[in-house]
Amino acid sequence: MTFDVDVIRAQFPILSREINGRPIAYLDNAASAQKPQAVIDALTRQMSHSYANVHRGLHTMANETTEAYEGARAKVAAFLGAPKPNNIVFTKGATEALNLAAYGLAHEIKPGDEIIISQMEHHSNIVPWHFLRERYGAVIKFIPVTEAGELDLEAFKSLLSVKTKIVSVVHMSNVLGTINPVKQMGEWAHAAGAIFIVDGTQAAVHMPIDVLDLDVDLFCMTGHKLYGPSGIGALYGKADMLSRMQPFNGGGEMIEDVYEDRVTYNDPPHKFEAGTPPILQAIGLGAAIDWYRQFDPQDIHLHEMAVYHHALDGLRSINSFRLIGDAKEKGSVLAFNLEGAHAHDVAQILDKYGIAVRAGQHCTQPLMESRGIHSTARASFGIYNTLDEADRLIEGVKKAATFLS
Ligand SMILES: *Cc1c(COP(=O)(O)O)cnc(C)c1O
């Protein structure tokens, strides 16, 4: 399908909304993205035509719903380049996927074992590893981030040793926009004998993913940033990794047999999906992936980066403008500050003009601290954003700069 942003926008009912008397310019896609009609319709269709619990019934709608749910798993697998649907565990988001990874591997951690993450991680790829530090004596090492916003790869190599048990890094930063060389990093991590985990939450939205080519052991993504529903995400795992991992929730469906004195588990991925899963959300994610895959990823990338560069060029003419994150390889995330102004004030002024950006720490407190800042404003561009919206951002920030100086 040819890439026409007006045609794409027309598929998002919410984008015709007005905020404070202006058409919404939704530039907060790194926090969560809006949903196309195809996803809304898929959910409505499932709820109004065929709905039941999955994996249990023998009746028609139970079978249909199970097929739709397992079909969504196959779509996620194909989207990530996973060999089989069973490499995909549904979770409620990327945060739960990373917590499952940490919990699932905790039994292999001994005091003094090292876990390497980076200073640009989202809290969801930091706090679960702190649990292993607090509970099992793991030692967390941080890969430093350079002034430009890139990982210091020499420092990473020198952190790797026989003590390294796990390396877990973000593929694309939700603040700096940096795209990290995870394939290369995974080779180094594996050479040191470590398990290699990638937080692909942002990357999965902005670039094609091939988990086999990247050779990652575990990879997480989330539905709500990929134009799908909230409440659904996925953990990809190599088959042997998922077998090694211990389950995190116990209950129905995740077991093979339950006796008074013992229990045996179902095979992965079901071992990790206790209870009634987020059935509708998973089906909605499948619909979002179908919708998204009709476009050429290169077209999406070129479009988003054109909007990003257009916005950045205009913003650079503002004296107090400071870009946070200027990596050579980056996606369409534009974090910035106006010198002397608080990011929250900038975001509030922009909202008056109908422009939605985020302001704060973006769940990356160690990154903020490493750069000696408390917060940033952040515009993040998605598939439906336009050059006109970039112009409105520039105008809005100019007004904020005048007002707040
Ligand atoms: C949003 C985000 C997360 C958390 O994802 P949820 O699905 O909201 O739990 C983790 N890592 C990165 C890089 C993110 O941008």
**What is the 27 CA–ligand 1 centroid distance (Å)?**
17
Task: Give the mean model confidence (pLDDT) for residues 216-230.
Answer: 98
Look-up of token digits 């907060």? 28
Least confident of 132-141, 161-170, 188-197, 245-254: 245-254
Q: What are phi and psi of 73, to 5 degrees?
A: -65, -40
In the residue annotation, 363 being an active-site residue is answered as yes
Task: Give the mean model confidence (pLDDT) for residues 100-118.
Answer: 98
pLDDT at 110: 98
Cβ atoms of residues 375 and 364 within 8 Å: no
Minimum CA distance residue for ligand 1 atom 5 = 94
111 preceded by a cis bond (ω within 30 of 0) = no
pLDDT in tens, 282-292: 999 999 999 99
**What is the 175 CA–ligand 1 centroid distance (Å)?**
11
pLDDT at 405: 80
In short, whether 231's Cβ falls inside 6 Å of ligand 1 is: no
CA 224 to ligand 1: nearest atom: 7
Confidence band of 296 (pLDDT split at 50, 70, 90): very high
Helix (H, G, I), strand (E, B) or coil at 362: coil
Its CATH architecture, for the domain 41-292, is: 3-Layer(aba) Sandwich (3.40)
pLDDT at 375: 96
Distance CA 272, CA 233 (A): 13
The 8-class DSSP code of residue 16 comes to G
DSSP 161-177: STTEEEEEEESB-TTT-
Q: Is the pLDDT assigned to residue 57 strictly greater than 90?
A: no
- The residue from 38, 155, 305, 363 that is catalytic is 363
In 10 A of CB 143, how many CB atoms? 22
Task: Give the mean model confidence (pLDDT) for residues 36-57.
Answer: 94
**What is the 403 CA–ligand 1 centroid distance (Å)?**
33
Tell me which residue of 117, 87, 84 sits closest to 102, measured CA to CA. 117
Return the domain boundaries, the chain.
5-31+296-404, 41-292
Mean of the per-residue pLDDT values of the chain: 97
Distance CA 76, CA 84 (A): 10
Length of the chain measured in residues: 405
Residue to probe by mutation, ligand 1, list 32, 91, 122, most atoms within 8 Å of CB: 122
The partner residues of 334 in beta bridges, in order of sequence, read 379
**What is the 229 CA–ligand 1 centroid distance (Å)?**
14
Look-up of token digits 């499948």? 286
pLDDT at 253: 87
pLDDT in tens, 354-382: 999 999 999 999 999 999 999 999 999 99
CATH class of 5-31+296-404: alpha beta
pLDDT in tens, 3-34: 999 999 999 999 999 999 999 999 999 999 99
Task: Give the mean model confidence (pLDDT) for residues 71-95.
Answer: 98
Distance CA 229, CA 171 (A): 22
Give alpha helix (H) positions in 215-322: 239-244, 279-292, 297-315
pLDDT at 244: 97
Minimum CA distance residue for ligand 1 atom 14 = 201
Task: Give the mean model confidence (pLDDT) for residues 294-320.
Answer: 97
